[in-house]
Every structure is written in C-alpha cells, then in structure tokens.
Amino acid sequence: MARSDRPGAFEEVVLLAVARLADQGYGVTILREIEDCTNTQPALGAIYATLERLEARGWVSSYQGDASPVRGGRARRHYKLTGAGARALEHTRRIFDRLWDGLALGRRARS
C-alpha cells in the first residue's frame, strides 16, 4: 500500500470515530467521539473537511438522513466506514503494531 493509500494522523482519528459510531456518525457525533476519546477539541470544520476527503478516497460513504424538526427541517449527513476504509485502518494498525513490537519505553537502553 502506497503512502497515499494510508490515512494521515487526523484522518485516522476521524476514520476510527466513524467506525466506532457505526451508522450513527454525523458531524457533531463524530466530533464528540473524538473529544471523548482523545481529550482534544478539533474544529467541526476540520471534521467536515476530513470527511469530504475520506469520502473522495472511498474510505467513508455518506447518506442524507431524514429531516428533523429539531434542525429546522434540515437533514443530517451520516457517514459509514467502507470496506476500503476498514482495510486502510487495518493496514495502518499493522504498521504501528510492528513498530511498537518489542519497544520498551521507560526502560533504559543497554549500552
């Protein structure tokens, strides 16, 4: 898999949040999932820009939900992880697992 076929760090975070939410992921729930899991507060605009990029790469798909009176009759766009997105995440996970394997942080290296 070429570098362009692997998600960047923030793309990976967004993909993981989408995967965790299954078919319940839309902008605000994805943002909240990221905030809860990472204790960071990314901008909602960054989430939407990343979702557009991930959809263009075929790693997420989206669909328009039903209109909601709570949102003034507007519908939410929901996002789901695709098979290609799951494969990209698994590939990235294998890379990092190999890098972490046998690494003992906090122990002094022997001279």
Beta bridge partners of 25: 79
Whichever domain contains 55, its CATH number is 1.10.10.10
Element at 66 (helix H, strand E): strand 60-67
Residue 108 lies in a domain: no
Residue 105 lies in a domain: no
Position 53: which residue type?
R
Residue 17 lies in a domain: yes
Residue pair 61/80 in contact (Cβ under 8 Å)? The answer is yes
Q: Would you give the DSSP letter of residue 108?
A: P
Please give the pLDDT value at position 67.
74
Residue 41 lies in a domain: yes
Position 7: which residue type?
P
Q: What is the pLDDT of residues 53-96, one digit of tens each?
A: 999 999 999 999 877 776 567 788 999 999 999 999 999 999 99
Model pTM score: 0.84
The Cα–Cα gap between 71 and 24 comes to 16
Q: What is the pLDDT of residues 3-26, one digit of tens each?
A: 578 899 999 999 999 999 998 899
Q: Domain range spanning residue 35? A: 3-100
Domain count, the chain: 1
